Amino acid sequence: MAAGHRSNSKGFGDDRYRAIIARLAEARKAQGLSQQQLADLLGRHQQFVSRYEIGERRLDVVEFVDIVRALSLDAHEILASIR
């Protein structure tokens, strides 16, 4: 494993994963959206947003795409930034 990338069985501690989650949370806040408002856009419960933002729940790729679209972000740019 490359230096600087922590790892555990679920990957929550991986610096790259945490960077993605931080970008999503920062974008939500920058757009002035509460967790509840984003959850409403996603058709999910507020706890869904809270749990992935604090690391209690890992996002799968489809959920990531849904969140990126709801926030009008560029998924490719986010993924390319975590090299």
In tens, the pLDDT along 28-68 reads: 999 999 999 999 999 999 999 999 999 999 999 999 999 99
State the CATH architecture for 15-80. Orthogonal Bundle (1.10)
Q: Is the pLDDT of residue 70 over 80?
A: yes
What integer pLDDT is reported at residue 11 of this predicted model?
A: 64
Cβ neighbours around 25 below 10 Å, total: 16
What integer pLDDT is reported at residue 1 of this predicted model?
A: 41
Tokens of 37: 């408002």
Q: Are 38 and 71 in contact (CB under 8 A)?
A: yes
Residues 6+ apart with CB under 8 A from 15: 4, 5, 6
Model confidence at 7, pLDDT cuts 50, 70, 90, reads: very low
The pTM of the full predicted model, rounded to 2 decimals, is 0.84
Model confidence at 2, pLDDT cuts 50, 70, 90, reads: very low
